[in-house]
Structure 1
C-alpha cells in the first residue's frame, strides 16, 4: 500500500475544548458532519471500548446507508485523537477504504486550531476528493462551533 497523506487545518473563534466536544459528542457531531450529504443517525461506542461505529443514511432507502468503523489508538482529551477509519457501504468494507486519522486540537490567541492528517490512502488519485471533503467538513465544523 502506498503511503499518502493529506492534512487539512482550520482556525476557530472558540476554545479547543469546544471544538473537541463538537468532534466527539454525537448530538453535536450529527449537526455538522454530513459526508456525501448523508445524515449521521447513530454512533455506537461501548463503555470502556476504543471501538466506535458511525452510521449514516440519506433517508431514501437502506441502499444508500454508510458506516464508518473506527478504533482509537490515542485519546488525549481536548488535544489529540489518533484512530483507524474504515468506510462501509451496505455493510461491506470499501476497497482501499482503511486509513488513519491524526487529529490535533490546539488553543491559539483568541481561539483554537484543528489539524486533521489522513494517511494510508492507497491510491493517490483518491487523496484529492478526501482533501476537498476534509476542507468542506472543517468549514461546516467552524460554522457550527462559532454559531452554537
Structure 2
C-alpha cells in the first residue's frame, strides 16, 4: 500500500492499512465523532465490545484515554496522542496500548499477537462529497504481518459500521 510517510519514517518490511468509508452525514458531524467523548463511546469498539471510557483530550499534544471492554468484562486501554489536527480535514495521532492510567504498555507483554507495533500511527482524513456525505479515509502504519493488518481491518470496519449507525 502506498503511504504519505517519507521513506525515512517507514520501517523496512512493515505493512500499512487503508480503509475508506462514505458516511451519510456532513463532515462537521463526522469529525466530531472522532473528538467528543460521548460520540466516541458509541462506535470505538468491535462487535460485542463496549467503550466505558473515552476521556478525550482532543488537541495537538493532547492524549485521549479509551477503554474497550470485551463481552467477558476484560478491559483494554489505548491512548491516542495527537500530532496534527486540522478541523474537518485531518487528524493524526499515535495509538498506544496502555494501562488504565494511560501509561504505555508493550503489546507483546500484554499478550497481543506478534507484529503489532508499540506505536501505531493513524492518519484520518475527511472530505465532503456533497449532499451531506463525508468520505473518511483511515490509514494505520507499521504493522509487522498481513495477519495483523487483517485483524486490524476487521476491527476497524466493525467500528466504522457502528459509527455509521451512530451518525444517523
How would you bin the TM-score normalised by the shorter chain?
0.7 to 0.9
> 2:107: which partner in 1?
94
Could you tell me which residue of structure 2 aligns to residue 107 of structure 1? Answer: 128
* Partner secondary structure for residue 17 of structure 1: helix
Q: 1:14 to 1:68 in 2, by over 3 A?
A: same
CA RMSD of aligned residues (A): 2.4
Structure 1 moving runs of 4+ over 6 Å: none
Shift in Å, 1:79: 1.2
TM norm structure 2:
0.75
Structure 1 length-normalised TM = 0.84
Unmatched 5+ residue regions in structure 1? none
Match of 2:155 among 126, 129, 133: 133
Higher fraction of strand: 1
Q: Name the count of aligned residue pairs.
A: 144
Higher-helix-fraction structure:
1
Unaligned runs of 5+ residues in structure 2 are 1-10, 109-115
- Give the structure, 1 or 2, with the largest relative contact order (CA under 8 Å, sep 6 or more): 1
- Quick check: 1:22–1:28 contact (8 Å CA) kept in 2? yes
